[in-house]
């Protein structure tokens, strides 16, 4: 089965000065400004099952307001300061027994065809309960988002809240990769300069 989309957006975004998931990244053909959130939902539309989940923390209020009446659920994670793995654990509890597409708001630079390739690889492997699918850039380095199987995700609850998720890789089977032709999966949105890089990526894309 196709995974469920989980958008990870619990950080404080102090250096950027605004919630990353609401940052303007591109203008569509009709002149409408689109945010990171708009892009993630548009890119994954029809590819994932169940209702998308957005995990919010420091900026829960403005994010919830921006999503009012939308097609996704916003989950408030009060312990967001303790690390991203804690946010993932909260998502696993909210979407128990589901394979998840974990998409951090600070890594928006993927095309729909990239996502299609990742989901196709996951389904071709039989939607493995301990599966792990990651995008790999041309230099061999990995990025985000990730697809993780439902059984592998149960181990997140036993991890430290700030323990890196890559520690789960030793328990994954199979470990799958999808090769990208671009470096978008390595662009990390953290500062105003990063936002300019992200916007440039969208213009060129």
Q: pLDDT tens digits, residue range 23-62? A: 999 887 677 889 999 999 999 999 999 999 999 999 999 9
Nearest to 53 by CA among 32, 28, 70, 65: 70
The pLDDT score that the predictor gives to residue 62 is: 94
Residue 145: the pLDDT is 97
In DSSP terms, 176 is beta-bridged to 133
CB half-sphere exposure, 171, CA atoms < 13 A: 17
pTM metric for this prediction: 0.95
pLDDT for the residue 162: 83
**Domains of the chain, each with CATH number or no CATH:** 4-204 (3.90.550.10)
DSSP code of 96?
Answer: T
Q: What is the pLDDT of residues 146-201, one digit of tens each?
A: 999 999 999 998 998 889 999 999 999 999 999 999 999 999 999 999 999 999 99
Closest CA to 5 of 34, 33, 42: 42
pLDDT of residue 46: 95
Give the rounded distance of the alpha carbon of 128 from its chain centre: 19
């Amino acid at each position: 089965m196709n995974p469920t989309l989980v958008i990870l957006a619990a950080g404080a975004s102090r250096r950027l000065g605004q919630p990353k998931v609401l940052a303007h990244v591109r203008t569509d053909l009709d002149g409408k400004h689109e945010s990171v959130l708009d892009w993630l939902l548009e890119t994954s539309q029809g590819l994932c099952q169940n209702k998308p989940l957005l995990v919010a923390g420091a900026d829960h209020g403005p994010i919830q307001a921006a999503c009012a009446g939308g097609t996704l659920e916003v989950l408030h994670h009060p312990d967001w300061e303790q690390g991203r793995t804690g946010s993932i654990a909260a998502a696993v509890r909210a979407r128990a027994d589901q394979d998840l597409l974990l998409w951090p708001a600070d890594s928006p630079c993927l095309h729909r065809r990239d996502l299609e390739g990742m989901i196709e690889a996951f389904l071709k492997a039989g939607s493995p309960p301990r599966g792990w699918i990651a995008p790999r850039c041309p230099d061999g380095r990995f990025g985000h988002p990730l697809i993780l199987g439902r059984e592998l995700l149960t181990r997140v609850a036993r991890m430290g809240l700030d323990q890196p998720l890559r520690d789960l890789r030793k328990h994954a089977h199979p470990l799958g990769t999808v090769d990208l032709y671009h470096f978008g999966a390595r662009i990390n949105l953290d500062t105003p300069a990063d936002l300019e890089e992200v916007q440039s990526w969208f213009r060129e894309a």
